[in-house]
Amino acid sequence: MNKVFGISFIIIGVCLNEWTIKLISNYETKFDSIEKSVFLILIQILFISAGIYIIIKKKRAIQNIFILFLTLFILIVSFEIILSISYFQNLSSSAPIWIPQKYKNISIEINKRHQLKSLSNQYFFNDINRSYKKDTSTNIRIAVLGDSFIWGAGVPDSVIWTRKLEKLFIRNGIECEMLNWGKSGWSTLNEYNFLKNEGYKYQFDYLIFAFVVNDPIMDSSIHKLFIYPKGFIESNILKPFSLVFPNTVSFSTDLFNNFFSTYSDYGYFNWLKNKVYIQNNLADYSNLLEDIKKYCEERNIPFVFILTPENHNPILKKYFNQIIDILKKDEIPYYNLFPVIENALNKYSIRELWANPADGHPGNLVTEVYSINVYDYLINDLNIMPNKPKLMNHYR
């Protein structure tokens, strides 16, 4: 029996390698960093060492390992209880060390509802299917290209700022239809490709590019995390434990990701600094904007870039200013909402502006400011007034 246990541990250790995990996960798991490889090797060494220890020490080894696991179990149970106490669930920090699983579940459920709705949309947008032709009773039809802000990550459907904008128009006597063309993870390049391939088929009076700080990325890269949401580690290794110890798993996951974000090039803000807002990428982005301008001018499409910050973090202001320089150089119409958000919501902490306690996307306070100010901008820009059914032939 001792040999069986020992050999089993050794086999697990040998088989627990990159090739095996990639095979099991249908090659969805990537080991593109030294850290992950080293971490996996350490686990392999642990299993192989435990197997050898069991074979050599026999019964005594099994007893010691049992005591070790029992001790770990007691520690984890104690830690789970401690983390469950509200004192350890800080909701005021704008950069929390960890987020309790119960708050993550709120965000997951909201996004599940959006995903369910998107299944009935031909492009998988969080929107109803729209006709190509504009209805004769509609005064203005506005197409909005965006990403998760337009898709509605982390917020109920009614909080999405384009939904609020549409209601503002209607409330003020203007029959408006918003075409919400947004997907999580989309960049300006993705949005432009959709416009050229599908969006052009729709009759609309005005086009909005809802700009978010990560939109200038010109390739398919995303920010690196040690443990990805819905990735192989979380889905296949941590998920079973999270059913019993949700906060411990959530704490450990966030702690690992925060550690690597702090001491390596992992994390969202490192990705922005080292990948998105570098000279070569921004030069390519400038060329993209020139293409967009030319495309819209040739088709007489009035358009604007609306810069939408999720909060008043100064780093967003810094990056927006870099984009504004490019927009000015390329003579692209734009409206920067950062000063508006900063002035209107600076009394609130960044965390209070989140979509929900687990999601940093713009919440209700932010989307309210978006909708009101974009409405005013469009009224002035398009000279749309109540009881004026026909749109002016506006063009920049």
Amino acid at 222: I
The size of the chain, in residues, is 396
Alpha carbon separation from 149 to 115, 162, 215 (Å, rounded): 14, 9, 11
Per-residue pLDDT of the chain in tens (396 residues, 90 and over written 9): 667 767 776 777 777 666 676 666 555 555 556 656 766 777 778 778 877 777 776 667 777 777 878 898 899 999 888 888 865 666 667 778 889 888 999 999 999 999 999 999 999 999 999 999 999 999 999 999 999 999 999 999 999 999 999 999 999 999 999 999 999 999 999 999 999 999 999 999 999 999 999 999 999 888 888 888 877 677 777 888 888 999 999 999 999 889 888 888 889 999 999 999 999 999 999 999 999 999 999 999 999 999 999 999 999 999 999 999 999 999 999 999 999 999 999 999 999 999 999 999 999 999 999 999 999 999 987 765 444 444 434 332
pLDDT for the residue 395: 30
Query: Would you say the C-alpha torsion 60, 66, 69, 74 has a positive or negative sign?
Result: negative
Helices 59-84 and 246-263 meet at what angle, rounded to 10? 90
Looking at this protein, which amino acid is placed at residue 87? Y
- Of 232, 230, 212, residue with least CA distance to 360: 212
**What 3-state class would DSSP assign to 308?**
coil
Identify the CA nearest to 57 among candidates 11, 2, 138, 104: 2
Residue spans per domain, the chain? 2-88, 106-221+271-382
What's phi and psi for 354, nearest 5 deg? -65, 160
Biggest alpha carbon–alpha carbon distance for the chain: 89
Token pair for 226: 């040690």
- Domain 106-221+271-382, CATH class in plain words: alpha beta
Can you tell me the distance from the alpha carbon of 59 to that of 2, in angstroms, rounded to the nearest whole number? 7
Q: Are 199 and 145 in contact (CB under 8 A)?
A: yes
Quick: pLDDT tens for 6-55: 777 677 777 766 667 666 655 555 555 665 676 677 777 877 887 777 77
Q: Which 3 state secondary structure label does DSSP give 135?
A: coil
